[in-house]
Structures are given as structure tokens and as C-alpha cells.
Amino acid sequence: MTESAVMKDAEAFIRTTRQFKARSVSLSIDDFGTGFSSLSYLRRFEFNHLKIDQSFIQDINRDPDNAMIALAVISLAHNLRMSVIAEGVESVAQLAFLRARGCDEMQGDLFSRPLPAAEFAALLGSGRALELPADPALPARTLLLVDDEAGILASLQRLFRREGYTVLAASNGAEALDLLAMHVVQVIISDAHLPVMDGSELLAKVRALYPDTVRMMLSGYTDLQAVTRAVNSGELYQFITKPWNDVKLVEAVRAGFRYHESRRAATHGVIQQFVPDGIQAVP
């Protein structure tokens, strides 16, 4: 949806977005920053993404004013628990600039020109991927997945490797603790129901041994006892219900990495972005 279309009848649109959200439809607001809307509406709309208009992206790595506007939108969106999409990315320099500053997704001719449906389907089926430039300034993002079901573990690995993370996998708590001893892990997602050592026990040990690691739990409704123990003992940043929604799970993990990075920045004297308190449930 474009910003101008939303503002024609904001109250009616607020009601409509809530109905969409109830049906698990993900919504983006397009051309953000080019209309006349009030920022107060952002906290009332049920949007998942903000799209930065391409007019701010064209010379983002050369024009400080456009760069500051784009960075402000990225910060605003993240603080409202929304992801950010940059429109009109056409060069590797633009990609690198946005990627280093926390932009979640990008679109533009650098990836592909607009295609007819048949050609678009062929592109998706080709498995072609954009080669990302190496950037030593980017924070390391290592994700540890723990689940005793091989099929679920493989599915999660495929999902998160597309995000560019280093993905580690373990089938039980002992393997997970071994991997944590050998790798610096920023985010861990553990199933609640694990053999020998359940998810809440594992995450309690992770909290004691690696307090900076952001801890998340996957849980079916039958595992609420384990979730309750973990929540009550302060082991969790988030829990995610099974079966999960891929889009919401990806966004939850992105938020987890941002939370980790904001805490680390705060300890080094950098102003910490607002992070909502309390346990969050991701359906």
C-alpha cells in the first residue's frame, strides 16, 4: 500500500489492517516519507514493513542528507518492531551502504529488472543468488538451532541460510553446549521438548554460561509447561509457537540479532536503541 492511499481514510484503513493481521497477511507501506502522513499513525497501523522510497536511495552513499533520512527511517521502523525494505537499489555501493546500516531487505535492478510472470518463475527456479560483497565491518551473526527432529532442523537451516547467517545445528542440549563452547553465537533457538535435557534446562545453562546470547524457544501448545518454566526463570527473550510462520520467524530472529547488537553497543558507550521489555510471543 502507498502512503497516499492509506491517508485517504486512515480510520477505515486501521480497521482493515487489523483484519488482515488476524488472517496472517503481511503488509508493507510503500513510498514512506514522500506523503503527508502523521507519524502518530504508524503506531496504530498493523504494518510489518516500511519501504524507503527510491528517491532517498539513488545517491544514498554520496548524499549525507538522503543517507540521514534513510537511517532515520531504519531506526524508526526497528524501534516499532517493523522491518525495512529499500527500493531502487541499483549498485553494489548502495547495497553495501544499506546492508552495513541494518536495512533488512532491498529491491531494485541490481537484483533483477521487473519481469513478466513466466520469466519471474524461471528466475526463482534457477536458484540464482546475488553475490554479497565481503564487509568486515558487519557484525558477525551466528545462529544456533536445536531440535531433535531432523526434518524440522533441516527446514530451519534452509530458511536461515538465505539470510546470510552462519547457521549451526544440534539435535540435543549436550551438542548445543559443545557448539557454544567452540563458536561465538549471538542467537539460539531451541525446541522446548528435547531428550534428556529439555529446552528450558538448556536455555538456563546458556544464560549462566553465555549471558549475552539471545535465547528463543520453539514450542507446540503441548510444551507450555516447559515454556512456563523458562519464562518464569527469565531464560527467554522470545518464544515462537509451532507451526511457525516463516516470515514472522525470520523477522523475530532479525530482531534478536538487533537486540544483541544494541546491548553490545550500549556496553561500548554507544546510545542503545529502544528495545521493548518483556517476553514476546510470535504465533
pLDDT on residue 240: 83
Tens-place pLDDT, residues 99-135: 878 888 899 998 888 889 999 889 888 877 776 665 5
Residue 215, pLDDT > 90, answer yes
Bridge partners, 166 (sequence order): 142
Report residue 213's pLDDT band, with 50, 70 and 90 as the boundaries: very high
pLDDT on residue 185: 92
Strands (E), the chain: 28-32, 49-52, 83-86, 105-106, 142-146, 166-170, 187-191, 214-219, 238-241, 280-282
Report residue 221's pLDDT band, with 50, 70 and 90 as the boundaries: low
Mean pLDDT for the chain overall: 80
Question: Of 3.30.413.10, 3.20.20.70, 3.40.50.2300, 3.10.450.50, which CATH number belongs to 142-282?
Answer: 3.40.50.2300
Q: Give the residue-averaged pLDDT of 248-267.
A: 84
Give how far Cα 33 sits from Cα of 2, 4, 42, 59, 135, Å. 10, 10, 12, 16, 29
Helix (H, G, I), strand (E, B) or coil at 215: strand
Second CATH level (architecture) for the domain 3-126: Alpha-Beta Barrel (3.20)
| Residue 147 burial class via C-beta count within 10 angstroms: exposed 0-12, middle 13-18, buried 19 and up | buried
Among 123, 251, 112, 237, residue whose Cα is nearest residue 186: 237
Q: Give the residue-averaged pLDDT of 10-36.
A: 74
Locate the domains of the chain by residue range.
3-126, 142-282
How many Å apart are CA 25 and CA 33, to the nearest integer? 23
Residue 36, pLDDT > 80, answer no
Give pTM, 2 decimals: 0.59
